[in-house]
Structure 1
Amino acid sequence: MQRRRPAQILLIASLGASLLLTACSNSGGGDDSYNLRFNHVLAESEPFHQGFESWAQAVEERTDGGLTIEVYPSAQLGVEEDIIEQIQGGANIGQNTDAARLGQYVEEVAVVNAPYFVDNLDEVQALRESETMQGYLDELEEQGLKVISFNWVQTHRHFFTNQEINTPEDLNGLRIRTPGAPIWQESIRALGAEPVAMDFGEVYPGLQQGAIDGAELVYANIPASNLFEVADHATETSHILLVNFEVVSADWFNSLPEEYQEILIEEADRAGLETSEQMESAIAEIKEQLLAEGMIINEDPDLEAFRQAGEAAYEALGLTEARDQIWSEIGKG
């Protein structure tokens, strides 16, 4: 029997190890780049969480387990801003976020979070055809942030307080919780209130202890976090249609096989639209529940006054031109 030289043995072993690593990578086994840990701040009872689970299940099924998504509710992986920084660094982590936070990387994209920018799901869908919007997404990708989908819409945001609100003047002096990004702050300031930056999980104790006088949220947030126990007035200002962005690392995304990339996007868009439609259709039932809990709902505030007041947010952040350009591209105006 011919004896192999040590160099031949080393070469064979090396090739074997390489083939094994390749097999593991392509199957998703043992390689973190084929697993996505997805973080969001909402409770498990929120519709978005079920939507993210639907996305994960569909991706796993279509890739035969080659790409899996683990969903972490209630910010289990960490604070949103910190997670986005990790995503920039190439970590296999995803985050449900908004245009306000992404605006800290590409300023103009924050316009999506401004008052009365879009009014319905059809206009959100139309944003996909906007060249200007696509340019913002390309800029984000250059900074390491790949937007998988922005088909996730949490319905309109309204004011939840402990007093009646009809006009922007009624908000004067009220401390209203909102996220800390500039567009959030300027939007709430423009609408008449004093913005207070606070994590979502602190809203209940903040209202309970009087640190804030109210919050601006979507209807689904209220029963999910029992906020009807600490706020008894809802005012349907509909000041922001909350478009959410699902973001992953551009480096991680580009490391996936092209087929997996397509599946990840397609299923995110599908689950997002389905979840958005479900949330819209559930509002009537949620309102009935809140009325039964004693909440007073103002369905007819002075919307024209709030719309006019909201203009100040665009002006304060220099976003009027960006808004007008996108509106022109999607046929809104």
Structure 2
Amino acid sequence: MRSIKHFSLALSALALAVVAPATSAQTYTLNVSTSQVADDPMYKGLLEFKKNVEARSKGRVQVKTFPASQLGSDEDIIEQIKAGAGVALVTDGARMEPYTKEFGILTAPYVVKNFAEMRKVVASPVFEEWVTKLHDKGGFQVFSFNWYQGERHLVTNKPVTKPADLAGVRMRTPGAPLWLETVRALGATPTPMPWAESYSALQLKAIDAVEAQVPAIYGSRLYEVTKYITKTRHIQLVTGLVGSAKWFDKLPKDLQVIVREESLKAGDYASKLTTDLLVTYEKDLKAKGMQVVDVDITPFVASTRSVYDKFGYVDLRKQVDAIVAK
């Protein structure tokens, strides 16, 4: 009997030794992609996210970061996310619009005047309803949507003062329908392609122009292949860190909280870097020979109003206006 008792105790101890480490050592890996280069505030924000998530989770969530579309184009990453992979992407609302319509309003032209207004929108209870809808309907999990990249401007090789000046200009834009229609409304011919291909496409004259924010213009060295930045401010580019709902739902609740809280903090960190550096970037671009031109945006505002009618965003615009006004 004593031998049986000892054997039973030994077996129980062995079982605990096998089970306990597996439970305590359960880890989750998240690969995070951005199209921006390693010096961009967005990537620096991802490094902050990685550091803080790994520290708070005590290594239970391991984050690997990839700048400059090293994991593939944004469209490729979105497909991986939809499939449930442990991948996340710094992306814009227009790319989420096909899965949840409301997200498109975040990148609609002239929907807000500045990041402070947009920050109110993406921190509102209304926005959290959109997040839930995107999770349930589209299979995406928004970690946070407060990653501000700056105002989008026109980047060309000729002066532009009004939409008519863009007639016949082939302008690179992301492939989402809202982006395409916005560029068309601005007066140009939209040409969808990955951001990483913009420099070579300009160099080879496959396109004539891009529309982009100042940090991306500088980081991608577009001052070598373009001459003018026309400050149309047509989009206040706020982006989000978005992953797979399937991957996120497998996390224990405490890790879900850590991922979302640290994404919000890192997004604010990256956004502050952006706003702090905008003046410096602009000075550096001028020093590189680019002409940075302020223009009357009135005709561009007028020309892009059609986007709201085409996408059925008139009521959504009123909803955003109400949030901003609070």
Is 1:305–2:306 an aligned residue pair?
A: no
In 1, Cα distance between equivalents of 2:320 and 2:128: 10
Q: Give the Å deviation of 1:274.
A: 2.1
Stretches of structure 1 that go unaligned for 5 or more consecutive residues are 26-30
- Which deviations, in whole Å up to 9, do the C-alpha atoms of 1:254-300 show, x marking residues without a partner? 3223332222222211221122122122122112111111111111x
Aligned equivalent of 1:28: none
- State the Cα distance separating 1:88 from its structure 2 match: 2.5
Q: Which residue in the other structure is 1:291 paired with? A: 286
Is structure 2 residue 100 aligned with structure 1 residue 106? yes
**CA separation in 2, counterparts of 1:138 and 1:44?**
31
User: Once the 2 structures are TM-superposed, how far is the Cα of residue 105 of structure 1 from its aligned partner?
Assistant: 0.8
Matched, 1:225 2:226: no
Task: For residue 3 of structure 2, give the secondary structure of its aligned residue in structure 1.
Answer: coil
By how many angstroms is 1:151 displaced? 1.0
The one-character-per-residue Cα deviations of 1:203-232 (angstroms, maximum 9, x if unpaired) are 111111111110001111122111101000
User: Structure 2 counterpart of 1:148, which letter?
Assistant: F
Residue in 2 that maps onto 1:82:
76
- Contact 1:39/1:76, CA 8 A, preserved across alignment: yes
Q: Contact 1:59 / 1:267 at 8 angstroms: preserved in 2?
A: yes
Could you list the per-position Cα deviations for residues 11-61 of structure 1 after superposition, in whole angstroms to 9, with x for gaps in the alignment? Answer: 876665333321211xxxxx3x3x211111111121211111011111222
Q: Is the 8 A contact 2:122 2:146 kept in 1?
A: no
Please list every run of 5 or more consecutive structure 2 residues that lacks an aligned counterpart in the other structure.
Answer: none
- Shift in Å at residue 114 of structure 1? 0.9
Shift, 1:162, TM fit: 0.2
Q: Where do 1:238-317 residues align within 5 Å? A: 238-299=233-294, 301-317=295-311
TM-score by length of 1: 0.90
Deviating more after overlay: 231-240 vs 70-79? 70-79
Structure 2 counterparts to residues 1-333 of structure 1, below 5 A: 2-3=3-4, 16-25=17-26, 31=27, 33=28, 35-142=29-136, 143-299=138-294, 301-331=295-325
Amino acid aligned to 2:3? Q
Structure 1 residues 14, 83: closer, same or farther in 2, change over 3 A? farther
What one-letter code is carried by the residue in structure 1 that aligns with 2:193?
Answer: M
Q: Report the CA distance shift for 1:251/1:49 in structure 2 as closer, same or farther (over 3 A).
A: same
Partners of 2:123 and 2:225 in 1: CA distance: 42
Counterpart residue type for residue 214 of structure 2: Y
Once the two structures are TM-superposed, the CA of residue 199 in structure 1 deviates from its matched residue by 0.8
SS in 1 for 2:47: helix
**Partner amino acid for 1:321?**
D
Asked if structure 2 preserves the Cα contact closer than 8 Å seen for 1:144 and 1:249, the reply is yes
TM superposition shift of 1:133: 2.6
TM-superposed deviation, 1:166: 0.6
Q: What is the CA–CA distance in structure 1 between the aligned matches of 2:188 and 2:76, rounded to whole Å?
A: 28
2-side partners of 1:10 and 1:180: how far apart? Answer: 60
Contact 1:133 1:326 in 2 (8 A): no
Question: 1:111 is paired with a residue of what secondary structure?
Answer: helix
Identity of aligned residues (%): 35
Q: Distance in 2 between matches of 1:106 and 1:138?
A: 10
TM normalised by structure 2 equals 0.92
